[in-house]
A and B are shown apart, each in its own frame.
Chain A
Amino acid sequence: MDGPDLTFSALVAARLLLAYAPLPEALKHDHQLSSPLTSYSRLREGIYLFEHGIDPYSGGSFRHSPLLLSLFSTVLPLTPYTSPLLWTAADAVAAWALVRIWRLRTGAKTTSRDGQVAAMYLLNPYIFLPSLALSSSSIESALALLALMFACRGRASASLLTLACLWHLSLPSLLLLAPILLLLITRPVSRLALPQPLGADLKRTLPLLAEFSAYSMLLTFASTLVCGNWDWVEKTWGASLTLPDLTPNPGLWWYFFTEMFDHFRPFFLMVFSVHLLIYIVPICVKFQHDFLYAAFVLIGVLALFKPYPTLSDPGLFISMFSLFPEIYPYLRHPIVTALIHLHASLLLPLFNSLWLRQGTGNANFFYASTLVFGVGNGAALLDAIWAGLRIAIGKVEDGYEVVQE
């Protein structure tokens, strides 16, 4: 066993110890770590209902994908002993995929930064806290990284199947379809410093798109077969579009829709949902020389504007920064962004408990902290976009300054 693998195993072992450490039960119900769509207790409830012959989608509490339902009610039963292992395994797979992407990007078999990349994922509190809370967002992050990893390796079928699974788990992940299709027809090496127009033929994505549609349809029919009806579509995908559950989360949607008059709801739901889509084309055009970077930026967009985010989503974005060390010198205000994130990550749990535990605050407190968190995520996203474009200009002479890329 060589150095990097040893570091990786040590990190995973440490995470496993942490997962089995006695942790407060309240962690599983924390609003920042699991949303109504990813909560562990709701998943358990759904499985219980399913195993007792009641349609879990007939109620309002279970909103996980039928894929998770069938997986955890058959081959991988959830118990207090297996669940921490499964979730740590998901994180380990994700970290391994991240390291593989890094190696593929540099083209080296092993590098000295491998351990750092893995640590950036496994020791990121935004990643390991939701994982300790057994939020299924950990599985989504792992699938996203796996899909990207397969795409980097050029394994089209594996990548598209993983992406189809991810899409079933979380509807907004569809944003990643375009960069992954394009990544499949290009190479994942860093071209940020030497941008060039897309050389590959766009028509080559069409069969891949067809393949993706086939997998998605297959999974959809499988899900319907598992459930026996189509109710799951409304309860899982529909939740991302219609926001039926306004349990607070660290995102920007919930408070807005608690304050909304009912007759404006459909319009603003449409605006919020469509708004996510408008980023795809500009980002893919601007980063047509490096689609891995485009995928990274879109993951940042998801972390900021997703309907039911947990801390895993910004965590995935921040961890992915480790894949692009070449942009570090060009980040615009890294210390400011880091400080906003620091303040936000302290304010979020504090204001949540002032509102819901101590009872001395109110919903506006927590909403204010989610806004700070949104500003932090937005600043990180802008930093990433700026640095990714700015690197192409390289070092400028004294007395010169870059106004716009």
Chain B
Amino acid sequence: MLRAIPAIRRRLRGGGDPNAARIRRRQALANKAWQGLPYIRIVLFTVGYLWLLAIPSSQFGQRTYIDENALQPGQVHTYWSWNDVHRADRVLEDLERLRDQNATSNEIANYAVGEFEKIGIPARIQHYSFDTVDGVLEGTNAYAVMQSPRASGAEAIVISASWLSRTGEGDGTLNLRGVATVISLAQYLKKYSLWAKDLVFVISDGYLDGMQAWITTYHGAAQPNLHAEPLTLSSGVIWTAINVDYPGHSFSHLGIFFEGLNGRLPNQDLLNSVSLIARHTGGVPVLVHDHVDPRDTPNTPSILPAWLPEALKSNADVQEYAVRARNIVRHMNYQARGAASGVHGLLHRFRIDAITVFAVPATGPHGFHSLGKILESSLRTMNNLLERLHASFFFFLLVGPGTFMKIGSYLPSVILVGTAMLFSGLGEWVNAGWTLASPPPLGGDEKTEKASAHTSWVQRPRPVLQAVSIMAATHLLGVLLFYALNSGLVPSTVIFLLFAILPVLALQLVSSPAPPSAPLATVLKAFNLCFASAVISITSVLNFSLAAALAVFMGLPLTVASSSPSQPKRVVKYALYSVLALGWLVLCPEETRKAIWNWEVLEVWFAPFICIVYTPLVLQAALACSLP
């Protein structure tokens, strides 16, 4: 046994000089890594993309739970009764009359203020206007502040309803019952002395614009294109907020919308508490967004595509996958664009945890009675908080109403794709630095074979400065692109052509490095891949959905970008990559217009991010393709 140890040691250290052994070991390891690099890359890409596809699988996820003990959701008796429902109906009648009279924003706001003041809650109106590319956007908000009877009012809870419902992202459907709920709730809550926080009621005009004007003014945040009256009533720090959206006549389910601006999510405790209360106090089933599960309701059409074989369609796992995938895709669609899925999303910017409860329109069975009870109990729960919501998760994927995924179970997918890109970039960098050189032939033909065995790798200079300058120039071009879009003067087709052709013209100014140094295309590709990988990995922490979208749009395309010896091939490749970089200008003008609106009015950085980061990165790949 003891005799074996020196043998093992000899085997590990390779006998002789330990330094020599170390070098040999390091070289062997480097060789292995270099030879294995293509496989490592393929494995990383495959695992990363498969992981992304596997996220909706029923194997992932865990049950939601309440983390903050102070919340105590659903532990109170609610007193909201049919009398209050009757009062809500009266308010609704008034609102319907206002709607039928085609009342102006001002009249509606004045009506709301009148109702609040009738019951002794101080209320005011606020006019505002936004200057946007599409013209001026005006409106009037109404708000009321009910002072906390038991505490100093250092903290506040906001209960809001916007005049337009979130149906169709503010397509004009009115949120009459939502507004009626908030006003009648104010009348009802005023009777109780148990509030430890101020209750702020907001009836905001429009869909998102009204609340944006109110909340930015409340926090004194300056926005250059917003002209809003200052608020004359004030309250404390807003910790939590709940937005009521009830567009239909009755509702069957309560949908929870939680995505905020720029991909920020509220603390999970808030949505978990409200959905717990909805189920147990209100008796209303809860949904993620407004997706009714076809398995629970017999008459809804299946969400699985019709062409799938029947065996798969009836498989429980496949059905579960489809249901989860629908929730996740909807969520990613909001989060990646940085869009708010409802009025609540505007409040996230100011560290307010907020959600929208959406009464999914149906013929029944629920109405004001259930909604009132749920809201009363939810407000009592928020009233219990002693500090900001912090215990539960801020980074999560809600795959079902009672199931979520922790960040650790979905983040690696994107990080793996980013790592694969990083390795590809490092591989390109090494390729750029070395070239195979054969020594001059020694003489006779019989020695040629021997000579070729002696070819050696020699280092060559890499045109780092030129590559970095090209990259910096494309990002500057991105800034120009953003300003061009923002001005709204130039048609998007012209912008597309201009910005697709400009880089390749500008490239003619860059002198190609002389033969002994590495080709510019290789170094540019190496840097491009490394930078793109850094952008993807780091975005994933802030906004997973955006990072996942980037991983899909940039991961493989940037990795396979390469120059080619034939000129026509290079031109075709360049054209394809410029379509990938700038195609959205022509292909989705509506989406572009919305993104610009979101930037102008709501300060969502999706539009600048695409213009200044995504487009230049893909253009760099296009340039790497076009270089000889």
A: residues with CB less than 8 A from B are 329, 335, 339, 342-343, 346-347, 350-351, 354, 357-361, 398, 401, 403
Contact = CB atoms under 8 A, between A and B. Distances in A.
A329 B19 CA distance: 24
Contacts of B388: 359
A339 B422 contact: yes
A354 B540 CA distance: 13
B426 A346 contact: no
B482 interface: no
A405 B137 CA distance: 70
Contacts of B542: 350, 354
B534 A339 contact: yes
Chain B interface main SS type? helix
B538 A343 contact: yes
B496 interface: no
B530 A339 contact: yes
B351 A359 contact: yes
Contacts of B459: 329
B429 A335 contact: yes
A401 B388 CA distance: 59
List 8 A-B pairs, minimum CB-CB distance, nearest first.
A360-B394, A359-B351, A346-B538, A403-B19, A342-B534, A401-B23, A343-B534, A335-B429
Contact of A342 (B22, B265, B429, B530): B530
Contacts of A357: 351
B243 interface: no
Nearest to B388: A359
Contacts of B264: 358, 360
Contacts of B27: 401
A186 B429 CA distance: 40
Which of A342, A343, A346, A358 has the largest number of chain B CB atoms within 10 A?
Answer: A358
A3 B83 CA distance: 86
Interface residues of B, number: 24
B531 interface: yes
A343 B19 contact: no
A361 B541 CA distance: 10
Nearest to B530: A339
A361 B535 CA distance: 19
B65 to A, nearest CB: 19
Interface string B532-550: 0011011001100000000
Contacts of B22: 403
9 contacts: A329-B459, A335-B426, A343-B537, A347-B541, A354-B541, A354-B542, A357-B351, A360-B264, A403-B22
B395 interface: yes
A300 B210 CA distance: 52
Given A339-B534, A358-B351, A360-B395, A350 B541 contact: yes
B538 A403 contact: no
B463 to A, nearest CB: 13
B351 A346 contact: no
Given A339-B422, A342-B531, A403-B23, A350 B456 contact: no
A351 B27 CA distance: 38
Interface in B528-580: 530-531, 534-535, 537-538, 541-542
Interface in B356-407: 388, 394-395
A350 B538 contact: yes
Given A329-B459, A350-B538, A360-B265, 15 more contacts: A339-B530, A342-B530, A343-B534, A343-B537, A346-B534, A347-B538, A354-B542, A357-B351, A358-B351, A359-B388, A360-B394, A360-B395, A401-B23, A403-B19, A403-B23
Interface in B503-538: 530-531, 534-535, 537-538
A361 B265 CA distance: 12
B94 to A, nearest CB: 39
